[in-house]
Amino acid sequence: MSKQDTHFFNIFSVVIGLLVAVALVLLALARNIGDNTQVTETYADKAYLKGADERTQPLVRVAVAGQDNSALVIKGLAQTTQIKLEIPKDGPALYEAVCKTCHATGLAGAPKTGDKTVWAPRLAQGKATLYEHAIKGYTGKSGAMPAKGGRTDLSDELIQAGVDYLIAQVK
């Protein structure tokens, strides 16, 4: 290697070294400025904190039998998945909304609405038994009548009104 080349390499190394040093200084400076401005602002940002809170909620919560587990309720989820079923106002409305599904066609062995032959022996049991079977559910020879037709959220009185309506259809 000629003397000139050696000289060039020496200068070149120094220049590269200086550039690296400047880059490191800029990097440190940028981080320092960021820490004092952006980061503090981010951590004070309500939307950011709320989002982080939501994302870090546990996916699974274990309820322990015999303990108060109300704190485990996943609120956002409960709100969106809770379906509010309409409450029918009287017997006929209840029939339309709930009982009809099975009793109009005799689905799943349900005694068909208005069919005297299938209802006669049932009516013979007396109203009280029919009320009880409709409210508490009943499994007989032809199938299973679910408690309150599956609408256990409804009052006993309303179910009785539904039974009255069913009985009134038998002619």
Binding-residue total with ligand HEC (CB under 6 A): 32
The closest of 121, 150, 117, 118 to 136, measured between CA atoms, is: 150
137 binds ligand HEC (CB under 6 A): no
135 binds ligand HEC (CB under 6 A): no
159 binds ligand HEC (CB under 6 A): yes
The closest of 32, 10, 14 to 22, measured between CA atoms, is: 14
102 binds ligand HEC (CB under 6 A): yes
Among 55, 75, 84, 141, contact with ligand HEC (rule: CB under 6 A): 141
Pair of tokens at residue 141: 């020879």
Q: CA 134 to CA 159: how far, in whole Å?
A: 7
108 binds ligand HEC (CB under 6 A): yes
**CA quadruple 75, 79, 85, 86: dihedral positive or negative?**
positive
Token pair 């909620």: residue: 57
Give the interface with ligand HEC as residue ranges (CB under 6 A).
94, 98-99, 101-103, 107-111, 122, 125, 129-130, 133-134, 138, 140-146, 148-150, 159, 162-163, 166
